[in-house]
Amino acid sequence: MNHQYIDSLIDLGNKDSRIIAVDSDLGTSARTPQFKERFPNRYINCGIAEQNMVGVASGLAYEGNVPFAHSIASFMMRRCYDQLYQAVAIPNLNVIVIGVYAGLNGQDGNSHQSINDIALATALPNFTVVAPANSYEVSKLISQLVDVGPTYLRLSREHIRLPLDEEYEVKLGNFSRLKKGNDLALLSTGSMVNHTLMLSDKLSEKNIDASVYSVHTLSPFDNEELNRIREDTEKIVTLEEHLVDSGLGSKVVNSLEVPTRVCKIGLKNKLLGSAPLNTLLKRAGITINENLKIIEEYLNK
Amino acid sequence: MEIERIIETAEEDRLVDKSALIRKNILHYISNAQSGHPGSSLSIVELLVTLYHKEMNIDPSKPKMDSRDRFILSKGHGVMALYCVLADKGYYSGKEIESFRQYGSLCQGHPEIGLPGIEACSGSLGQGLSIASGMALNSKIRHASYRVFVLMGDGEINEGQIWEAASFASKYKLDNLVGIVDRNRMQHDGFCDEIMPFDSIKDKFESFGWSVYSCDGHSYRSICATFKDIRLDESDKPKILVADTVKGKGVKAYENTLKSHSVFGNINEDVLSSLYVVRGGNND
Q: Tell me which residue in B123, B138, B161 faces A52 most closely, judged by beta carbons.
A: B161
Which value, to the nearest 10 degrees, does the dihedral of the CA atoms of residues B146, B73, B30, B43 take? -100
ipTM: 0.97
Contacts of B137 in chain A (CB under 8 A): 44, 56, 59-60
Task: Mark the ranges of chain A whose per-residue pLDDT is less than 70.
Answer: 1-3, 158-165
Question: Within an 8 Å CB–CB cutoff, is residue B123 touching chain A?
Answer: yes
Quote the pLDDT of residue B283: 84
Query: In Å, how far are A62, B59, B98, B179 from B174, measured between CA atoms?
Result: 17, 24, 38, 11
Q: Is the pLDDT of residue B201 over 50?
A: yes
Give the tens place of pLDDT for each residue, A263-288: 999 999 999 999 999 999 999 999 99
pLDDT band at B77 (very low <50, low <70, confident <90, very high): very high
Query: Is the Cβ–Cβ distance between A117 and A153 less than 8 Å?
Result: no
Give the tens place of pLDDT for each residue, B15-72: 999 999 999 999 999 999 999 999 999 999 999 999 999 999 999 999 999 999 999 9
Question: Within an 8 Å CB–CB cutoff, is residue B265 touching chain A?
Answer: no
- Percent of chain B exceeding pLDDT 70 equals 98
Quote the pLDDT of residue B239: 98
User: In angstroms, rounded to a whole number, what is the distance separating the alpha carbons of residues B280 and B284?
Assistant: 5
Question: SS3 of A223, please?
Answer: helix
Helix axes B220-232, B9-33, angle to 10 degrees: 110
Query: Is the Cβ–Cβ distance between B173 and B236 less than 8 Å?
Result: yes
Quote the pLDDT of residue A156: 87
Question: Within an 8 Å CB–CB cutoff, is residue B51 touching chain A?
Answer: no
pLDDT band at B6 (very low <50, low <70, confident <90, very high): confident
Q: Can you point out the beta strands (E) in B154-202?
A: 177-183
Distance of residue B130 Cα from the nearest chain A Cα, in angstroms: 5
What is the average pLDDT score of chain B?
96
Quote the pLDDT of residue B232: 97
Q: Is the pLDDT of residue B206 over 60?
A: yes
B135 phi, psi to nearest 5 deg:
-65, -40
Q: How far is Cα of residue A222 from the mean position of the Cα atoms in its chain?
A: 15
Question: Within an 8 Å CB–CB cutoff, is residue B48 touching chain A?
Answer: no
CA atoms within 13 A on the CB side of A241: 32
Closest alpha carbon within chain B to A64: B138
Task: Please give, one letter per residue, the 3-state secondary structure of B66-119.
Answer: CCCCEEEECCHHHHHHHHHHHHHHCCCCHHHHHHCCCCCCCCCCCCCCCCCCCC
Query: Is the Cβ–Cβ distance between A263 and A294 less than 8 Å?
Result: yes
Which among B216, B228, B141 is positioned nearest to B178, based on CA atoms? B228
Quote the pLDDT of residue A161: 53
Quote the pLDDT of residue A159: 44
- List the single best residue of A18, A22, A41, A62 to mutate versus B (max B Cβ within 10 A): A62
Quote the pLDDT of residue A157: 75
Q: Tell me which residue in A46, A52, A63 faces B138 most closely, judged by beta carbons.
A: A63
Beginning with the edge strand found earlier in the chain, give each strand of the sheet holding B177-183 in spatial order.
B70-73, B148-153, B177-183, B239-244, B211-216
Biggest alpha carbon–alpha carbon distance for chain A: 60
Contacts of B138 in chain A (CB under 8 A): 59-60, 63, 65
- Helix ranges (H only) for chain A are 2-15, 27-30, 33-38, 50-62, 73-78, 81-83, 117-122, 135-141, 192-205, 223-232, 248-255, 277-283, 288-300
pLDDT band at B278 (very low <50, low <70, confident <90, very high): very high
H-helix or E-strand spanning residue A154: strand A151-154
Q: What angle do CA A53, A55, A57 make, to 5 degrees?
A: 70
Tell me the pairing of strands A210-214 and A217-219.
unpaired
Quote the pLDDT of residue B101: 97
Average pLDDT over residues B110-130: 98
Beta-carbon contacts of residue A145 (< 8 Å; ≥ 6 apart): A96, A128, A130, A151, A153, A172
CB contact under 8 A, A55 and B130: yes
Biggest alpha carbon–alpha carbon distance for chain B: 53
